[in-house]
Amino acid sequence: MSRKKRKLPTGSEELLHAENPFGSFDASGLPAATPASPQPKPEIKKTKPGMRVEIRREKSGKGGKTVTTLRGLTTLDKKSRENLLYNLKKKVGTGGVEIKDGIQLQGDCRDKAEEMLVSSGFKPVRAGG
């Protein structure tokens, strides 16, 4: 014996506007919105041209979650590695963290990461399975 769910009426636009908590505010005295200026892309400075980067998908020891690991970024200085991580997270649309010998991104994003590294001048190599 299950209870019947009450259905809310959705056919009227007046119901939506009647329950709007911001409906009573007057926005006539506020300044006009200005478009946000685009932020400049951080630069990535490599110390050696054509650096080889291993792209690997890992799952062990992560609680069943899949991560993409980029290793071989030892010749980048700290600031350039942070900028690369920032750009990768933007391009791929996931979270990521800097680890002691590379970068770790959430999820299986090897294709997008490889694309980004090639456009930045690296030589990515898929490692593992």
pTM listed for this prediction: 0.61
Q: What is the CATH number of domain 52-126?
A: 3.30.780.10
Give the pair of three-digit tokens for residue 84.
């690369």
Interval 55-85: pLDDT, tens = 999 887 778 889 999 998 877 888 888 999 9
Tell the burial category of 47 from Cβ atoms under 10 Å away from its Cβ (0-12, 13-18, 19+). exposed
pLDDT score, position 11: 65
Q: Are 60 and 66 in contact (CB under 8 A)?
A: no
Band of pLDDT at residue 94, cut at 50, 70 and 90: very high
Residue that wins the pLDDT comparison between 120 and 47: 120
Nearest CA to 98 out of 108, 110, 109, 87 is that of 87
Ordered by start, the domain boundaries in the chain are 52-126
